[in-house]
DNA sequence: GTTAATTTAAAACATGCGTTTGACATTAAT
DNA sequence: ATTAATGTCAAACGCATGTTTTAAATTAAC
């Protein structure tokens, strides 16, 4: 063998690319093997030959993006905590660590920005049963570390509340990623390209406000309790 | 005929109940006609005989709950705006109008509280294409009215931002409804039953904080009025 | 009680699915 | 050039799906 196998590389990668595009557009459940092979201009048997089975193909796509995503999340949290070992990190920074790995990954894909967002959104929305045991473990580790980090930044709000608020946050995130096209048109009224950046910026502000609800940081605030509406 | 048709009522309603339960548990797409008829102890043909087709069955279930839900949403917004015609209504109240119709509906169903939440969450997460034209129109009307109401309450934040924040809100809501069981166990540590109430309370605070991000209302307000919440 | 309409039941139908097969073509190694 | 491994293809398999059919059973009306 002189080089990397050429014969194998072409159709397999075409299949993978086609699968990712279709999964992003229609969701994992709504894509038939024949849809993939047709878009990739390959034979029906190609998926099973190259990937073993349909399930192993989706598992591959999932792990391919979820693993690096979680890894960079943790890396960013690392540098955040290393940079301010004892100081308090703004929640905004933590949320950035949670979602900005996305923008680094869109650059490495053949998929369009919007499509990749959809794909990742669909991945994050998968039920546990659809994920491999290792990926589930990765997710739990990541979630735990971020929960602790946020608990450190917002010590006054009970752990239980924080868990719920994080729950709301991921809900917003999944919805944002999978349905971002609904509102995309509004954001590119102004020139530039960074529609994604603007979107994420809005999300970070929304989520940060929600997470720190009831905590008085807002510079002013001379008076005390301000429990607003607790009926 | 002496009374209401007895012969028709029994299996048809058993089918409907079975369908709702399965749709809630596994989602509309993952439930086969045979699952429904088996749980309802009816024949396979029963669904097509009583409802015309599988699609018409899910359309019935959807419209059955989505229409009243939207209606009560609008009704509650009506009383809110009628009670304070010119004054400013707290966003918390608007969000309540947006989600509390849920608790009134759980009482009227045979489904458990958790299951009904899942069902409604799945309904709210359906793509437009899966909904009838009228239901889509209802949703748009409702969304528009709430957008305008919130715009009135938060005049300082640009309309575009509000649309995004509402987008985040419904994402949180859908995720809350469909995955509330993940965190339910935490909330009933204390006696009582109002797990739903507690959950919605947390959600309202989170969403309200997110919606009014960047707006300084927090009591302090050096100058006069101070009459913001005095109904 | 007879007749007509309505409801149930078993079986089969048509279609789409993931997967497997086995023959054929292509490529790499001796 | 021969052989062995690898990749491709059309066809078919087995199964689950939604739906239809046909006949029997049940119910209502006269």
For the segment A16-30, what is each residue's pLDDT rounded down to a tens digit?
A: 999 999 999 999 999
pLDDT in tens, chain B (231 residues): 333 444 456 889 999 999 999 999 999 999 999 999 999 999 999 999 999 999 999 999 999 999 999 999 999 999 999 997 777 899 999 999 999 999 999 999 999 999 999 999 999 999 998 999 999 999 999 999 999 999 999 999 999 999 999 999 999 999 999 999 888 877 765 555 578 999 999 999 999 999 999 897 655 444 444 444 444
Is it the case that residue A186 has pLDDT exceeding 80? no
| CA torsion, ordered A185, A62, B122, B200, to nearest 10 deg | -90
- The per-residue pLDDT for B195 is 87
A91-136 per-position pLDDT tens digit: 999 999 999 999 999 999 999 999 999 999 999 999 998 999 999 9
Question: Chain A residue with minimal CA distance to B180?
Answer: A167
CA distances from B226 to A35, A183, B218 (A): 62, 36, 10
For residues A149-170, average pLDDT: 96
Is it the case that residue A193 has pLDDT exceeding 90? no
| CA atoms of A16 and A5, how far apart (whole Å) | 17
Task: Collapse the DSSP code of A104 into the 3-class scheme (helix H, G, I; strand E, B; otherwise coil) and give the result.
Answer: helix
CB-based contacts of A66: which residues, under 8 Å, 6+ apart?
Answer: A123, A124, A131, A135, A138, A139
Is the CB of B45 less than 7 A from some atom of nucleic acid strand D? yes
Is it the case that residue A32 has pLDDT exceeding 50? yes
- The per-residue pLDDT for B192 is 56
Interface test with A, best of B206, B207, B208 (most A CBs within 10 A): B206
- Whether B183 and chain A come into contact, CB under 8 Å, resolves to yes
| Helical axes B6-26 vs B54-83, angle rounded to 10° | 80
Q: Exposed, middle or buried by CB within 10 Å (0-12, 13-18, 19+), for A11?
A: middle
CA proximity to B28, closest of B163, B150, B122, B154? B122
CA proximity to A165, closest of A123, A206, A197, A122? A206
- The per-residue pLDDT for B188 is 61
Neighbours of A151 (CB within 10 A): 14
- The per-residue pLDDT for A7 is 46
- The per-residue pLDDT for A230 is 41
- Of A5-19, A194-208, B120-134, the range with the lowest mean pLDDT is A5-19
Is it the case that residue A227 has pLDDT exceeding 90? no
- Whether B170 and chain A come into contact, CB under 8 Å, resolves to yes
Nucleotide with the nearest C1' to B6 CA:
D27
Residues of B in contact with A173 (CB under 8 A): 171
Give the nearest partner residue to A176 out of B171, B203, B212, using CB atoms: B171
Q: Say if the Cβ atoms of B172 and A172 lie within 8 Å.
A: yes
CA distances from B101 to A135, B74, B115, B191 (A): 38, 10, 16, 24
Bases in strand C with any atom closer than 7 Å to a protein CB: 6-12, 16-22, 26-29
Residues of B in contact with A212 (CB under 8 A): 209
Is it the case that residue A38 has pLDDT exceeding 60? yes
| CA atoms of B3 and A126, how far apart (whole Å) | 49
Interface test with A, best of B100, B172, B197 (most A CBs within 10 A): B172
B8 CA – D27 C1', rounded, Å: 10
**To the nearest whole angstrom, how far is the Cα of A32 from the nearest Cα of chain B?**
14
| Helical axes A6-26 vs A113-124, angle rounded to 10° | 80
For residues A152-173, average pLDDT: 96
Is it the case that residue A34 has pLDDT exceeding 90? yes
- Strand C proximity list, CB < 7 Å: A 1-2, 5-7, 31-35, 44-45, 47-48, 53-55; B 5, 7-8, 10-12, 42-46, 49-50
| CA atoms of A207 and A100, how far apart (whole Å) | 14
Q: Exposed, middle or buried by CB within 10 Å (0-12, 13-18, 19+), for A25?
A: middle
Nucleotide with the nearest C1' to A49 CA:
D7
B196, HSE (Cβ side, Cα atoms, 13 Å): 18
- The per-residue pLDDT for B227 is 46
Residues of A in contact with B190 (CB under 8 A): none
CA distances from B89 to A212, B79, B213, B222, B230 (A): 22, 11, 17, 21, 10
- Full set of structural domains in chain B with CATH: 10-52 (1.10.10.60), 64-211 (1.10.357.10)
- Whether B171 and chain A come into contact, CB under 8 Å, resolves to yes
Is residue A102 within 8 A of residue A117, CB to CB? The reply is yes
Q: Exposed, middle or buried by CB within 10 Å (0-12, 13-18, 19+), for B107?
A: exposed
């Amino acid at each position: 063998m002189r080089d990397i196998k050429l014969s194998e590389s072409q159709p397999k990668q075409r299949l993978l690319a086609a699968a990712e595009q279709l999964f992003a557009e229609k969701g994992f459940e709504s894509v038939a093997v024949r849809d993939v092979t047709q878009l990739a201009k390959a034979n029906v048997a190609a998926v099973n030959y190259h990937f073993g089975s349909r399930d192993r193909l989706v598992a591959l796509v999932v792990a391919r993006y979820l693993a690096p995503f979680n890894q960079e999340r943790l890396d960013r949290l690392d540098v955040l905590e290393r940079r301010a070992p004892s100081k308090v990190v703004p929640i905004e920074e933590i949320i950035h660590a949670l979602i900005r790995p996305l923008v680094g990954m869109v650059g490495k894909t053949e998929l369009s920005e919007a499509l990749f967002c959809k794909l990742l959104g669909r991945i994050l929305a998968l039920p546990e049963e659809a994920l491999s045991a290792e990926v589930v473990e990765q997710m739990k580790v990541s979630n735990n570390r971020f929960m602790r980090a946020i608990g450190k930044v917002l010590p006054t709000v009970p752990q239980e509340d924080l868990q719920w608020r994080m729950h709301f946050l991921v809900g917003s995130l999944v919805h944002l990623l999978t349905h971002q096209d609904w509102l995309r048109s509004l954001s590119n009224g102004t020139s530039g390209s960074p529609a994604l950046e603007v979107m994420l910026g809005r999300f970070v502000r929304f989520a940060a406000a929600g997470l720190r609800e009831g905590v008085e940081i807002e510079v002013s605030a001379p008076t005390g309790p301000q429990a607003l509406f607790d009926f």
